[in-house]
Structure 1
Amino acid sequence: MSLTASTDSAPRITYSAVLGSPHVARLLGGTLTGRLPNAMAPVAILLWTLAADGGIAFGGLLSALFGLASALSQPVKGRLMDRYGQTAVHLPTALLNSSLLIALPVAAPYGGPTLATTMVVAAGLTAVPLEAGMRALWPSVLPDPRLRHAALALDTGTQGLLYIVGPLVAAALASVHSPALALAVTAVLGLAGTLVVATAPPSRCWQPAPTTVGGAPARRLASGELLALFVSLTGIGFALGALNVWAVAMADQHGRDILSGLLPAAFSTGSFLGGLVYGRRTWPGSTARQLLAGIVAFLAGWLPLLAHPGPGAATVAVVLPGAFLTVVVACAYQVTDALTPAGRTSESYAWLILSIGIGQAVGTALAGRLADHVLAVAALPAAGAAFALTVLLLARPGRAVARNGWHRHEHA
């Protein structure tokens, strides 16, 4: 059975029906609030370092270390959730993460760069894995696959908004009061959002599926098809990382600083709107085929940048690849679910998140080296998308999905 199979008699999906379902609005709101530190903390850390005369180079290093530590620790925290449940992971990590962010401007000056670096890395390692946890909750919260499809699209589409709102809030707090306040508010928001999620019945009661079948251990997590999917997603992350540097290069070339924020914001807006459209209805074909189609459209959306458009045209152009990002990520989660053995769902989602994060870091680094060559940087997002498409065409994970059958959650 195709995950996205629909019937003419099925009622139209509405977001009011999704948000009106028990616990959905609470879990979505809490997850978005609790994940704001992912977007706020790097900016707040950088601004605090500058205010403490640490220099922009050291501040950039600390921000990068926070993001890298958070990404690299995702699979470990996902594995712990699969083994001990969400509450046992969410609450301790939230308390540690918030305490470290609040203590950073107080304690770090006495310990110098070494203590500051240690605290920032520890804060990244203890970032709460709310995204993977939320994706694991959807099957139990919304047993209807059609509503779950809409919820996943809404969840994925709103991610981009975090990276518009978060940096703006952190910068505003640092400007109006101090970077220390920005760090404190970041910590409070992260802890508050996590508490909202962790105390919700679906999260408190969530238990992973048994990791044994008939007394035999579950198959290993990293099947060839799943590994290929994760490798392909590094290309998607690569495109996102290159986008941010390209936006800065465009701003520098045209002497308009606002472009460095406006272009990513337009892309994120496209992602949000694309998610709303995608989640409103079911679509023909298997989800594996939708994933391939989404990456093709994502690649096509970047091609106009090769013509080196001006600021206005570029701002409009990036909306198109943004609109298909949500389709790609939402479908990737569903294919991951179908290829993951029972009892390893959170860990598998965490590897997906890490794959995109690694690609984003590589894309940012390479684009940074080429920042003086705007045309070359403009081609990097399309190159990342082309890499993702090539890997998937060679691996064809849809064959494994069809062979193994859809994951147990699709029949819940």
Structure 2
Amino acid sequence: MPQPPSTSPAPRITYGAVLGSPHVARLLGGTLTGRLPAGMAPASIILWTLTTGGGFAFGGLLCALYGLASGLSQPLKGRLMDRYGQSTVHLPAALFSSVLLTALPFAGPPGGPALTTALVTAAGLTAPPLEAGLRALWPSVLPNPRLRHAALALDTGAQGLLYIVGPLLAAALASAYSPAAALVTTAVLGLAGTVVVATAPPSRRWRPVPATGSDIPERRLGERSLVALFVALLGTGFAIGALNVWAVAMAARFSAEILSGLLPAAFSAGSFLGGLVYGRRAWPGSTDRQLLFSSAVFLAGWLPLLAGPGPHATTAMVVLPGAFLTVVVTCAYAVTDALTPAARRSEAYAWLICSIGAGQSAGSALAGRLAEHPLALAALPTAGATFTLAVLLLTRPGQSAFHYGRNHRGHP
């Protein structure tokens, strides 16, 4: 009598197998190095602004402009990759962005705020789309879906470390040398990491699958479902942005300056650890269920913070939502992959990144206005996570991906 198929989770895989696969360590390491400006540039810019007499307000504006320009230009750069290839986009973008960051100290006060603002905005606009490019490479680099799952989880979790290492490195360079040295180092690291990725054989050889007539109905299905997913991820980014400002407000409230960096660091460490755990095995349930479950736990992780715990308890508590952030984002990439025609995949990944970044900017902006109201400020991450879960429950984009993959691509 035939035995029913087993529904138990598949055994764990090792990250040694993932990183030992051809090109993986180079691509992941190069991308993380090339993306260090995402964490270093804002800190370097504000430190340089203060030394040149620009003040906190102007420095904060420049940081916001750099982040917004980089995030909002992602879809366009993703579309260019889909049309012209990765190296053709990565190398010129990295060169322009690095030159602009290096030129910033030479603009100085004589250049005036208009020139400084233009340089910072242009540097953000031309930041290379390494994160979206790496996600587009995984299927060709790791044909084994289980290794690819682990690589994506590791990649997603490691991205959060950029916002721990980047500001610390910028501050150390500014303290030991000067903020100008921090800006130049930021530019050099960004360019070097991009060159490592763009000259790797998978990136040089990568070409998108040409669009065909059969892609048209898929594209329509994907657009409707992906819009819902990207709207949901605005709430996820909102929670992250609110946390960053909340950390600064708590540092001032408890007269403990270390909290401004410690809370985001604990959240990012949770994200990294969550990625390590999630990526080591294939978990039961469809993408739809995993996405909903991780979004629900992401929300649940914020709820205890509404009680206003002290700084030590808060630091420990933010690890849980951080851990499930990686699962939410990894599942979101899986949904995006399933619902997007191959000819537009880089662009779709870039829209996902843009959605989270836009939500993060909105969360930071609103949290800044509520910084004097601790209870309202503490509620903002919960509000963002609630928005994400509500949109996912109402639209079920992951379920669309599951049925699409099962019926059209042979996925289980």
TM-score normalised by the chain length of structure 2: 0.95
Matched, 1:357 2:357: yes
Task: Supply the AA of the counterpart residue of 2:158.
Answer: T
Paired residue for 1:226?
226
Paired residue for 1:382?
382
- 1:223 is paired with a residue of what secondary structure? helix
Task: Supply the AA of the counterpart residue of 1:293.
Answer: F
Paired residue for 2:51?
51
Counterparts of 1:55 and 1:391, CA distance in 2: 40
Q: 1:13 to 1:30 in 2, by over 3 A?
A: same
Q: 1:171 to 1:20 in 2, by over 3 A?
A: same
Paired residue for 2:87?
87
Matched, 1:24 2:24: yes
Q: 1:408 to 1:275 in 2, by over 3 A?
A: farther
- Please say if residues 262 and 315 of structure 2, whose CA atoms lie closer than 8 Å, have aligned partners that are also in contact: yes
Counterparts of 1:354 and 1:320, CA distance in 2: 24
Paired residue for 1:261?
261
Give deviations 1:208-240, integer Å, cap 9, x for gaps.
011123697973586221100000000000000
Q: 1:151 to 1:7 in 2, by over 3 A?
A: farther
Matched, 1:34 2:34: yes
Task: Supply the AA of the counterpart residue of 1:344.
Answer: R
- Please say if residues 211 and 218 of structure 1, whose CA atoms lie closer than 8 Å, have aligned partners that are also in contact: no
Task: Supply the AA of the counterpart residue of 1:107.
Answer: A
Task: Supply the AA of the counterpart residue of 1:178.
Answer: S
- Please say if residues 102 and 187 of structure 2, whose CA atoms lie closer than 8 Å, have aligned partners that are also in contact: yes
Matched, 1:152 2:172: no
Paired residue for 1:105?
105
- Please say if residues 215 and 341 of structure 2, whose CA atoms lie closer than 8 Å, have aligned partners that are also in contact: no
Paired residue for 1:393?
393
- 2:210 is paired with a residue of what secondary structure? coil
Task: Supply the AA of the counterpart residue of 1:179.
Answer: P
Paired residue for 1:64?
64
Counterparts of 2:331 and 2:158, CA distance in 1: 15
For residue 111 of structure 1, report the CA deviation from its aligned partner.
Answer: 2.3
Counterparts of 1:28 and 1:124, CA distance in 2: 22
Task: Supply the AA of the counterpart residue of 1:342.
Answer: A
For residue 342 of structure 1, report the CA deviation from its aligned partner.
Answer: 2.4
TM-score normalised by the chain length of structure 1: 0.95
Paired residue for 1:313?
313
Which stretch of structure 1 is more off in the superposition, 218-227 or 243-252? 218-227
Alignment length, in residue pairs? Answer: 407
Task: Supply the AA of the counterpart residue of 2:172.
Answer: A
Q: 1:9 to 1:289 in 2, by over 3 A?
A: closer
- Please say if residues 86 and 133 of structure 1, whose CA atoms lie closer than 8 Å, have aligned partners that are also in contact: yes
Task: Supply the AA of the counterpart residue of 1:203.
Answer: S
Paired residue for 1:291?
291
Counterparts of 1:27 and 1:407, CA distance in 2: 33
For residue 11 of structure 1, report the CA deviation from its aligned partner.
Answer: 5.5
Paired residue for 2:116?
116
Matched, 1:247 2:247: yes
Counterparts of 2:102 and 2:183, CA distance in 1: 6
Counterparts of 1:227 and 1:103, CA distance in 2: 38
Give deviations 1:102-121, integer Å, cap 9, x for gaps.
11111344421111111111
- Please say if residues 270 and 323 of structure 1, whose CA atoms lie closer than 8 Å, have aligned partners that are also in contact: yes
For residue 311 of structure 1, report the CA deviation from its aligned partner.
Answer: 1.0
Counterparts of 2:352 and 2:399, CA distance in 1: 19
Equivalence map 1:199-210=2 (5 Å): 199-210=199-210
Q: 1:153 to 1:409 in 2, by over 3 A?
A: farther
Counterparts of 1:407 and 1:178, CA distance in 2: 58
Q: 1:221 to 1:91 in 2, by over 3 A?
A: farther
- 1:275 is paired with a residue of what secondary structure? helix
Q: 1:50 to 1:217 in 2, by over 3 A?
A: same
- Please say if residues 6 and 282 of structure 1, whose CA atoms lie closer than 8 Å, have aligned partners that are also in contact: no
- 2:161 is paired with a residue of what secondary structure? helix
- Please say if residues 218 and 342 of structure 1, whose CA atoms lie closer than 8 Å, have aligned partners that are also in contact: no
For residue 128 of structure 1, report the CA deviation from its aligned partner.
Answer: 0.8
For residue 409 of structure 1, report the CA deviation from its aligned partner.
Answer: 8.6
- Please say if residues 234 and 388 of structure 1, whose CA atoms lie closer than 8 Å, have aligned partners that are also in contact: yes
User: Is there any run of 5+ residues in structure 1 with no aligned partner, and where?
Assistant: none
Query: What is the percentage of aligned positions where both structures have the same residue?
Result: 73
- Please say if residues 288 and 402 of structure 2, whose CA atoms lie closer than 8 Å, have aligned partners that are also in contact: no
Q: 1:374 to 1:269 in 2, by over 3 A?
A: same
Counterparts of 1:49 and 1:58, CA distance in 2: 8
Counterparts of 2:62 and 2:8, CA distance in 1: 54
Counterparts of 1:207 and 1:134, CA distance in 2: 13
Counterparts of 1:218 and 1:389, CA distance in 2: 25
- Please say if residues 340 and 407 of structure 1, whose CA atoms lie closer than 8 Å, have aligned partners that are also in contact: no
Q: 1:410 to 1:25 in 2, by over 3 A?
A: farther
Q: CA RMSD in A?
A: 2.0
User: Is there any run of 5+ residues in structure 2 with no aligned partner, and where?
Assistant: none
Counterparts of 2:273 and 2:252, CA distance in 1: 28
Task: Supply the AA of the counterpart residue of 1:73.
Answer: S
Find runs of 4+ consecutive structure 1 residues off by over 4 angstroms: 5-11, 214-218, 406-411
